[in-house]
Amino acid sequence: MKLRLSIVLMIWLLPAAPANAATPLDYTRTILEQARTLVAGNQTHNQKLAALSSLFGSFLDTNAMGREALGQHWSSFTSFQQKEFLALFRELLQRTYVQRLLLFQHPDFIYAGQQFTANTAIDDTKIVTPRDQFDVAYTLILAGDNWRAIAIRVENVSLTANLGSQLNDLLARMTVDDLLALMRRKYGNNSGEA
């Protein structure tokens, strides 16, 4: 009797998942299927790019990815520089990832599985085109009522680590202000508003 009561209490005391939160794989599937529809649509390239950027803006946690990409350099940025960097990094990451999607004609997605760790989920997917197939893994965390991707691995290469390596190389030969000026020229004249 005590064991049964303990089990009932444990279940009752467990935090409930938010009512609107789909499984991570369901959420990833929803985002990618919307992306596929946008890519196949009749809009201009720029219209597709804007729509995909908006879609992935709610899916990708670019702030977490930006902090990870900067690694040890994060603490050498002032709070204003951090804010500006994150806004520019968001644009860089979305353009890098979204532009790649637009290169595929009629992409299809396969949802290969899902793995859970202590506080993340990893969704294994594949992008399938008439010519190629690419493995893509998304690492997600629950943020409020939705899942947010904090890492993307394409063919087992981390997009964040790849960008981080490039940023590290740039910061080895230029100042933080020089890096931000370069990013501003390439990705827009952001004033640090994230």
* CATH for 68: 3.10.450.710
**Confidence at residue 159, expressed as pLDDT on a 0 to 100 scale:** 92
Higher pLDDT, 48 or 79: 79
Look at residue 10 and tell me if it is in a domain: no
Q: Are 69 and 164 in contact (CB under 8 A)?
A: yes
Percent of the chain with pLDDT over 70: 86
Number of domains present in the structure of the chain: 1
Strands 133-143 and 108-116, by their bridges, are: unpaired
What mean pLDDT value characterizes the chain? 84
Residue 12 has pLDDT above 80, yes or no: no
**Confidence at residue 6, expressed as pLDDT on a 0 to 100 scale:** 34
Look at residue 161 and tell me if it is in a domain: yes
Look at residue 6 and tell me if it is in a domain: no
The C-alpha atoms of residue 187 and residue 128 are separated, in whole angstroms, by: 29
Q: Are 164 and 68 in contact (CB under 8 A)?
A: yes
Closest CA to 112 of 126, 100, 101: 126
E-assigned strands of 32-132?
108-116, 121-128
Q: What's the pTM?
A: 0.80
Domain carrying residue 95: 22-187
Q: Are 114 and 37 in contact (CB under 8 A)?
A: no
Look at residue 12 and tell me if it is in a domain: no
Look at residue 16 and tell me if it is in a domain: no
Look at residue 33 and tell me if it is in a domain: yes
Which amino acid, one-letter code, is at 84?
E
Look at residue 11 and tell me if it is in a domain: no
Residue 122's DSSP bridge partners are 115, 139
Residue 187 has pLDDT above 90, yes or no: no
Look at residue 193 and tell me if it is in a domain: no
